[in-house]
Amino acid sequence: MGDSRPDPRILGYLSSAREDAEIIRYDILGSQAHVLMLLKTGLVSKTSARRILGALSEIMRRRRSLFARSGSTYDGKNAGGAASAEDIHEFIESLVVERAGAAHGGRMHAARSRNDQVALDIRMKVRDNINAMCGHILDAAESMILFASNHRRTVMPLYTHLQQAQAGLFSHWLLAHADALLRDYERLSGAYTRVNKSPLGAGPVGGTSLPIDRAYTAELLGFDGILENSLDATGTRDFAAEYAAAVSIMMSNLSRLAEDVVVWSTSEFSFVELEDDISSPSSAMPQKKNPDVLEITRARAAEAAGYTGAILGIVGGLASGYGRDLQRTKPLLWMVSDAGVSALLAVQSVLGGMRVNKVRMRRVAEASDLVALDVAERLVLECDVPFRTAHGTAALLVQHARAIRKSVRKMTMGDIRGALRKGGAADAKQPPAASDPKILHAITSSLGPVSSLRNRVSRGSSGYAEQRRMISARKRTVTRLRNALEERKKGVDEAFASLKKQAKRV
């Protein structure tokens, strides 16, 4: 067959060394755990284990210099170090053999394949990414909740279809986005339980005839257990797709927040103003403050969705078992993670440097007909009018108020009579209160955004009392989730510390 070495250009095309930089540490940790298991089961001698673990420890200490790339992995020229290898697993094994000798280092790869090895490394990397992402989510949610504490009485209009709908509080808007982030935390934490299963020892696809202890390596690496079926363990990337999807959903939530702030920072709204250091001036128009950070957040949300779609496309197009296609899920995962963390940090910066125009928000709320629903509900509550009838009466008042260029709450009794007459309500067969100008005037003149919010009592509403309760409850939730996250991280850290200690002991 002649020289079996591939063309350098083909090697560059096949190599994953560039993306594998993210999993070097995990590959070494996995190898250490694997060697300890081989020693425990008698598959390697103590001498071989000592030599291999010594080499791995040295590689761990010097990994930054050892894995520094020279040249390009794609043109095949001047490539050295990790860049000249097909992947990081091959390169680390070659370094171990070089340092420990072939008689010892050549024993390290017994009872495993690169298929279960790479699946292990990705799971450990994604596991840490989830914990880091969850920490940033809690930081962002907590900043929103604290911001909300300062705006429990900041009146603003709430919107549906970008049309003014009801009077609300700025704290309510903040809590809505904090709640979405807390659900993102829950989604990622749910994914963590499925990520945190060890595939190591599954072999290429069907297991091994060697007497290994998969549960032992899983314990050494801080996993909750093993991914039992060897075919599933090596070939699946559903955990990667689930993680990417959870991050993409989080990004879509942040994108919606970004869109709100972009709109509200326009001169037409002027609800908020962005600090100079989180906005950009125009190259030609000096009066402008462009919300570039928020616009990039919207774009990166679309990118994350694209990466997730690509992962699903790769995984969904494969037959059972390992396919080299799966190699390309790694860079997509790293890009999804980068997009998520960057967006969380950016949004925190935006909220931390955003001035809220309380006067403008309240003025808009008071000038509009946000009390229309309150008129209908007062008729229901105080006058026993069926809601649909009350809704129709309130609609008549709003239509006439707009025709005479007044707000509903500024209408006189004569204006109300005109509205009822114009709508034919006065002659209709309906409860008297729904067509009584005196009753209607008493209701409309007593209503406003503040009274509306004071009367809002449904659980989770934008009422003053509910805001106090929800803010306190969210603070407790963040504390509880942060404690749970620290316990989760502690479990992994303790496993790695124990692994290091056991490797040293050998």
Give catalytic residue positions.
Answer: 161, 282
User: Of 407, 412, 415, which Cα lies nearest the Cα of 167?
Assistant: 407
Q: What's 75's DSSP letter?
A: T
Rounded-to-integer distance, Cα 113 and Cα 233, Å:
12
SS3 state at 82 = helix
| 56: CB partners within 8 A, 6+ apart | 28, 31, 32, 35, 92, 96, 503
CA separation, residue 5 to residues 71, 290, 347 (Å): 19, 54, 49
Rounded-to-integer distance, Cα 112 and Cα 44, Å:
14
User: Of 257, 180, 368, which Cα lies nearest the Cα of 265?
Assistant: 257
Q: State the alpha helices, DSSP H only, in 17-113.
A: 17-20, 24-40, 46-61, 63-66, 88-100, 102-105
**Dihedral angle of Cα 106, 108, 112, 113, to the nearest 10 degrees:** -50
As a whole number of Å, the CA-based R_g of the chain is 31
User: Of 70, 90, 89, which Cα lies nearest the Cα of 80?
Assistant: 70
Q: How many CB atoms lie within 10 A of CB 429?
A: 5
User: Of 402, 375, 400, which Cα lies nearest the Cα of 389?
Assistant: 375
Q: Provide long-range contacts, Cβ within 8 A and 24+ apart, for 272-276.
A: 272/354, 272/355, 272/356, 272/357, 273/354, 273/355, 273/357, 274/350, 274/353, 274/354, 275/353, 275/354, 275/355
3-state secondary structure 274-294: ECHHHCECCCCCCCCCECHHH
Question: Residue 471 carries which side chain, given as an amino acid letter?
Answer: I
Element (H, E) at 273: strand 272-274
Helix (DSSP H) and strand (DSSP E) numbers for the chain? 21, 4
